[in-house]
Structure 1
Amino acid sequence: MTPDELQAARDRVVPDVVAGGLRVLFCGINPSLMTAATGHHFAHPGNRFWPVLHLSGFTSRQLKPSEQDQLLDYGLGITNVVARATARADELEPEEFRAGGEALSAKVEALAPLWLAVVGVTAYRSAFGDRRARIGPQERTIGGARVWALPNPSGLNAHWTVSTMAEEYARLLAAVDRDASGSATPVPTPS
């Protein structure tokens, strides 16, 4: 991919990978230029979403970004808080996050996933005005879905390794499985 091709992808919107009644709707911050240029979510080679999704147990093998539609077979989907592509998330305005949060709430209400998993606690805080939110399950529901804030899988997020992210994603998977089996056991939060 050339720099010109990447720049041409700026502000593009990448279609969601969604269906009604998903187990988990993963929600990114916004598409990267690589994602917009390829049309595949989490497409940047440094993004750790696909390996983490597999290592945590959500998928039986590591999917490639070009195989994103296979997520639906697992009851999983992908959307974004802000639809337009940028080189970096810090190019987004606070108003875009707030408007994105409102649009996301309506989308979640219409699609009725069991869980909404926002990949990036800062994006979650900005979109929903919850400055105290931490990684893990949230108190609120959005559009009827339970909410979990996950670490951002971007390669720029050096605070989390593939292994520690996979552990957190696995905690979400355990909660999803408990909910699917009808157990009302609360999800433990790390100390």
Structure 2
Amino acid sequence: MTRGELEAARDRVVPDVVAGGLRVLFCGINPSLLSAATGHHFARPGNRFWPVLHLAGFTPRRLAPAEQEELLTYRLGITNVVARATARADELSTEELIEGGRILRAKVERLRPHWLAVAGVTAYRTAFGEKRAAVGPQERTIGSTRIWALPNPSGLNAHWTAETMAREYARLRTAAESAPEGRPDA
């Protein structure tokens, strides 16, 4: 992909991979330019979402970004806090993240996933006004949907390795599987 092709993808939207009855709706901060150019979530080669999802036991094998629709067979989905693509998440304004949180809450109310997993605790803090939120399960719910803040799988997040991220993602998987039918309120 050329620099020009990537720049042409700026501000594009990558369609959500969603359905009703999801066990977990994973939520990125916003699409990268490569994700927008390809139409596939978490498409940057340095992004660790797909390997971590497999290491955590959510998928039986490592999926490629182009196989994102297969997530629905595992009752998993993907969306973003902010829909527009940028080269870096730090290009988003606080106002965009707050508005994205409002839109995300409405989406969750409509889809009613069992868990919303926001991959980026800093973005979660801003979008939901939870300044002290830490990685892990949150007190806040959206209707009956529980929320889990996950580490950002970007390769720029050097504080977390794929292995330590996989352990946190696996904690979420265990919680999602522990309630009857995977439903925390069942």
TM over 0.5: yes
Matches of residues 26-37 of structure 1 in structure 2 within 5 Å?
26-37=26-37
Aligned-pair identity (%): 74
Cα pair 2:114 2:182 within 8 Å, conserved = no
Q: Secondary structure at the match of 1:160?
A: coil
CA contact (8 A) 2:33 2:85 kept: yes
Alignment of 1:133-152 (within 5 A): 133-152=133-152
Contact 2:23 2:183 in 1 (8 A): no
Q: Which string of whole-angstrom CA distances, capped at 9 and with x for unpartnered residues, describes residues 140-191 of structure 1?
A: 102431000000000000000000000000000000001245797xxxxxxx
Shift in alpha-carbon separation, 1:24–1:182, aligned structure 2, 3 A: closer
1:28-48 Cα offsets, whole Å, 9 max, x none, are: 000000000000000000000
Distance, in Å, in 1 between the alignment partners of 2:119 and 2:179 is: 20
In structure 2, C-alpha distance between the alignment counterparts of 1:182 and 1:34, rounded to whole Å: 33
Can you give the 5+ residue segments of structure 1 that lack an aligned partner in the other structure? 185-191
Give the ranges of 4+ consecutive aligned residues of structure 1 lying more than 6 Å apart after TM superposition: none
Aligned length: 184
Q: For structure 2, list consecutive stretches of 5 or more residues without a partner in the other structure.
A: none
AA paired with 1:99? Answer: E
8 Å Cα contact 1:108-1:144 kept in structure 2: no
Q: 2:171 aligned with 1:171, yes or no?
A: yes
Q: Which residue of 2 aligns with 1:102?
A: 102
Per-residue CA deviation, residues 52-107 of structure 1 (Å, 9 max, x unaligned), is 00000000000000000000000000000000000000000111011100000000
- Within-5 A mapping of 1:115-130: 115-130=115-130
Alignment-mate amino acid for residue 100 of structure 1: G
Note closer, same or farther for the CA distance 1:169–1:3 as it changes in structure 2 (3 Å cut). Answer: same
Indicate conservation of the 8 Å contact 2:114/2:183, yes or no. no
